[in-house]
Amino acid sequence: MRDTTLPASGTGGVDPGTQAIRVRGIVKEYNLSSGAFTALAGVDLDIEAGEFVAIVGRSGSGKTTLLNLLAGIDRPTSGEISVAGTAVHALREAELAAWRGRTVGLVFQFFQLLPTLTVAENVMIPMDFCRTFPAGERRGRALALLERMGIAEQADKLPSALSGGQQQRAAIARALANDPPILLADEPTGNLDSQTGDAMLQLFTDLTAEGRTIVMVTHERDVSRYISREITLADGRVAGAGASAAGVTA
């Protein structure tokens, strides 16, 4: 069996006593030629360290908008967002990318690996950008992460030579490169067959056991056996937040 210990610089989680995610009164409006469109209409959320939370809801309910605000990819019209103890809504543009690179790992439906770089080089991107590890250590760390994901032998191939499931494992290795306490995933199993998707969800569950917090947008699968909690969005508001099979309450 392969070593499941993640090569890490820290603990894997947020600092002790720090809430993973706290959202208060988030409103997100988009300005359209026809007028303002409200995508999020006042969302409050509390997510604790080590939770694996699924954000569900119909198409257009605001799931991706919420995830992008948590990642600091987009900014709220009003409201407050604290992620791993940082007031994301208050960060200046110049601070956001560096903060995100160290704090948040992003996983997408279509993997978004750079096609002209090898798998290992893709995993090194966040380390190169944030200079989190000495240059001489980055490739070794990338290889260790790929080993952890079970695809070490794919390290020097281009992403196009990998299966979808292998590409998503490479994308998760990249998301973990800087040892972020928070993972944000937008439909991470949406482009995978159900068996491969289940393996991915199990991997996420294992990562939360290390203290990492995962927020995953999903709309097509029953993920209840993997997650600690489900939060339903409807028309830009939290419509329901339920306990999971694991019994964690909202």
Ligand X SMILES: Nc1ncnc2c1ncn2[C@@H]1O[C@H](COP(=O)(O)OP(=O)(O)OP(=O)(O)O)[C@@H](O)[C@H]1O
Q: Which residues bind ligand X (CB under 6 A)?
A: 30, 32, 37, 39, 57, 59-65, 219
Whether 151 and 99 have beta carbons less than 8 Å apart is answered as: no
Shorter beta-carbon distance to ligand X: residue 61 or 154: 61
Shorter beta-carbon distance to ligand X: residue 121 or 187: 187
Shorter beta-carbon distance to ligand X: residue 75 or 219: 219
Q: β-strands 213-217, 35-47: how paired?
A: unpaired
User: For the chain, what's the residue count?
Assistant: 250
Shorter beta-carbon distance to ligand X: residue 55 or 151: 55
Query: Nearest to residue 26, comparing CAs of 236, 239, 235?
Result: 236
Q: Is 49 left (phi over 0), alpha (psi -120 to 50) or beta?
A: beta
Q: Smallest distance, Å, CB 153 to ligand X?
A: 34
Q: Smallest distance, Å, CB 62 to ligand X?
A: 4
CB-CB neighbours of 68 under 10 Å? 17
Shorter beta-carbon distance to ligand X: residue 14 or 39: 39
Place of tokens 């798998």: 119
Q: Smallest distance, Å, CB 63 to ligand X?
A: 4
Interhelix angle 194-209/164-175, nearest 10 degrees: 20
- What six digits make up the tokens of 113? 């690996």
Q: Smallest distance, Å, CB 41 to ligand X?
A: 11
Burial class of residue 29, CB neighbours in 10 A (0-12, 13-18, 19+): middle
Q: Smallest distance, Å, CB 71 to ligand X?
A: 13
Alpha-carbon 112 to chain mean position: 13
Q: Smallest distance, Å, CB 143 to ligand X?
A: 34
Q: Smallest distance, Å, CB 32 to ligand X?
A: 6
Q: How many CA atoms lie within 13 A of 106 on its CB side?
A: 21
Shorter beta-carbon distance to ligand X: residue 59 or 195: 59
- What six digits make up the tokens of 77? 């019209």
Shorter beta-carbon distance to ligand X: residue 32 or 94: 32
Query: Nearest to residue 212, comparing CAs of 178, 165, 248, 238?
Result: 178
